[in-house]
């Protein structure tokens, strides 16, 4: 996070959290951005926004980032054309309710776990070859405990946590490699637009992005954002099953 110009690859660059994070990184010092996302038009708008804000350069690689079949070729193209990368920020994801059709649920699991794991593993291998770098993976507090309301979404995030944990342990042998799993709580984004926003637990993408910047700077392996979610989920994880069932969370 300090020093000279950095190169940052953002997977899922059109997401609210990724865009807020990219803006903070541009404001924080010279950064060369490599953006990938599903929608070419939205990706171009994001690139223009970040270029106007002072990014050293912005390269775009549109593609189906949530498709496991598309990840290897897209990542290979990016790495072959862009060279050394200092940070890989992976933020592709979707949320499907438990009552959705099985094909919709299968798609969610493919995006949230399989594709994310491939981006993380492929990125990790690239950083290991060059000997330095930081992977940032956007997970969720939903992966901390099985719940009736979103157990399948939570399962995808729990699996992703194991991926990130494995990378952190693997990177521990090299003091120039890091992996940070970011676990946001309730965030007001398009993905949560159908949910009631009552209460004080909701955060904005800008709030989350500021917490991520600090977590990356501190090289933390796991970051609950905002930090109060660490205490909240500590309680949730230790609730007896009978209590959790009655609460209907």
Model confidence band, residue 243 (pLDDT cutoffs 50, 70, 90): confident
CATH of the domain at 242: 3.40.50.720
Model confidence at 197, in pLDDT bands (50, 70, 90)? low
Domain total of the chain: 1
Q: What is the mean pLDDT of residues 83-110?
A: 94
| pTM for the model | 0.92
Instruction: Look at residue 245 in the predicted model and tell me its pLDDT.
Output: 80
pLDDT in tens, 10-35: 999 999 999 999 999 999 999 999 99
Q: What is the pLDDT of residues 58-95, one digit of tens each?
A: 999 999 999 999 999 999 999 999 999 999 999 999 99
d(CA 124, CA 238): 33
Query: H helices of 70-150, where?
Result: 71-82, 102-109, 116-130
What is the CA angle 159-160-165, rounded to 5? Answer: 100
List, for residues 110-147, the tens digit of each pLDDT value.
999 999 999 999 999 999 999 999 999 999 999 999 88
Is the CB of residue 190 less than 8 Å from the CB of residue 177?
A: no
pLDDT at 193 over 80: no
Average pLDDT, the chain: 93
Structure tokens at 64: 């189906």
pLDDT higher than 60, residue 1: no
Predicted confidence band of residue 222 (pLDDT cuts 50, 70, 90): very high
Q: What are phi and psi of 189, to 5 degrees?
A: -135, 170
On whether residue 18 sits in a domain, the answer given is yes
Q: Is the pLDDT of residue 241 over 60?
A: yes
| pLDDT at residue number 147 | 80
Which residues constitute the domain of residue 182?
Answer: 6-247
- The predicted structure's pLDDT at residue 167: 98
* More confident position, 202 or 207: 207
Phi and psi dihedrals of 209, rounded to 5?
Answer: -60, -40
Judged by phi (left if over 0) then psi (alpha if -120 to 50, else beta), residue 83 lies in left
Backbone angles phi, psi at 138, to 5 degrees: -90, 110
For 138, other C-beta atoms within 10 Å of its C-beta total: 27
Task: Give the per-residue pLDDT at 217.
Answer: 96
* Mean pLDDT, residues 39-61: 98
Higher pLDDT, 201 or 63: 63
Q: Does the residue 1 lie in any domain? A: no
- 3-state class (DSSP) for residue 83: coil
Q: Is residue 158 part of a domain?
A: yes
């Amino acid at each position: 996070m300090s020093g000279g110009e950095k190169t940052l690859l953002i997977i899922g660059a059109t997401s609210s959290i990724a865009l807020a994070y990219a803006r903070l990184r541009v404001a924080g010092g010279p950064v060369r951005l490599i953006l990938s996302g599903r929608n070419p038009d939205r990706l171009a708008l994001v690139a223009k926004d970040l270029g106007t804000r002072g990014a050293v350069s912005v390269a775009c690689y549109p593609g189906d980032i949530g498709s496991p079949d598309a990840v290897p070729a897209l990542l290979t193209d990016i790495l072959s054309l862009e060279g050394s990368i200092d940070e890989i920020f992976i933020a592709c994801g979707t949320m499907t309710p438990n009552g959705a059709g099985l094909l919709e649920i299968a798609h969610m699991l493919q995006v949230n776990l399989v594709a994310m794991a491939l981006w993380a593993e492929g990125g990790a291998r690239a950083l290991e070859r060059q000997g330095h770098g930081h992977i940032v993976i956007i997970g969720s507090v939903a992966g901390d405990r099985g719940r009736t309301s979103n157990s399948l979404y939570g399962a995808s995030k729990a699996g992703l946590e194991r991926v990130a944990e494995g990378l952190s342990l693997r990177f521990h042998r090299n003091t120039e490699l890091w992996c940070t799993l970011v676990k946001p709580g309730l965030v007001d984004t398009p993905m949560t637009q159908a949910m009631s926003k009552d209460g004080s637990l909701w955060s904005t993408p800008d709030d989350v992005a500021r917490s991520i910047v600090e977590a990356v700077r501190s090289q933390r392996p796991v970051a609950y954002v905002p930090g109060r979610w660490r205490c909240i989920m500590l309680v949730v994880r230790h609730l007896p099953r009978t209590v959790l069932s009655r609460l209907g969370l």
